[in-house]
Chains A and B, each alone.
Chain A
Amino acid sequence: GESVGLHLPTLSVQEGDNSIINCAYSNSASDYFIWYKQESGKGPQFIIDIRSNMDKRQGQRVTVLLNKTVKHLSLQIAATQPGDSAVYFCAETNQAGTALIFGKGTTLSVSS
């Protein structure tokens, strides 16, 4: 069945370090991928997305890498700050292309 997973449920880093959050996906036909950040008590917030015709996309302090060969997606956060502490979800298009399938999330903890 369809599934989107993250390699690690938790990640702890020091302030100023770079963070890398990984995600493996199963639908080789997916053509759209997205990362969300969710802070405690709030709804998920869009961070960055990427389409399958790209392998890298950069935003402000964030970079998403897509490796379609091994069906792997990663989110890199540069100079991680305490405000980056949250749960991060990756998502991919479902088989029908009608909805997003979310992974279970990685909790990022940033200590100062």
Chain B
Amino acid sequence: DAGITQSPRHKVTETGTPVTLRCHQTENHRYMYWYRQDPGHGLRLIHYSYGVKDTDKGEVSDGYSVSRSKTEDFLLTLESATSSQTSVYFCAISGEAGGVSEQFFGPGTRLTVL
């Protein structure tokens, strides 16, 4: 399995609080992605990174920000969590650009916003 870890694995928080999810990889892959997975929607891309300090928005980026200060870490921040952000969040990595090769996924973080 690709060396991808996510932390925390589970989190319960209250509406309006900030939340940061961490993705850590040991594969030295250039590309990293954050997805959310909800029933009936499959996996939807939030943000992605194509290098240190290089990030771009995905399909559902509103309410989320990201940062990548090191190759191995990609952080997803919810500045002010809302109940609609209750979801399972997956991080993925790939060695090539996002649409041209397989992505390897982490184990996921289950976030509940009350």
Contact = CB atoms under 8 A, between A and B. Distances in A.
Contacts of B102: 34, 46, 49
Interface string B21-62: 000000000000101000011111100100000001011000
A85 interface: no
A5 B56 CA distance: 25
B58 to A, nearest CB: 6
Interface residues of B, number: 26
Contacts of B104: 46
Contacts of B7: none
Interface stretch (B12-20, B69-77, B79-87, B105-113): B105-113
A12 interface: no
B107 A42 contact: yes
A55 B100 CA distance: 17
A45 B99 contact: no
A94 B41 contact: no
A39 B57 CA distance: 28
A104 B98 contact: no
B114 interface: no
Contact of B108 (A31, A32, A42): A42
A22 to B, nearest CB: 15
B34 to A, nearest CB: 11
B100 A103 contact: no
Interface string A80-109: 000000000101011011111111110000
Contacts of B108: 41-43
Contacts of A104: 40-42
Given A49-B101, A100-B98, 13 more contacts: A34-B102, A41-B108, A42-B108, A43-B107, A44-B43, A46-B104, A89-B42, A96-B99, A98-B56, A101-B45, A102-B44, A103-B42, A104-B42
Closest 9 CB pairs of A and B: A43-B105, A93-B99, A99-B98, A102-B43, A104-B42, A97-B99, A102-B42, A46-B102, A44-B105
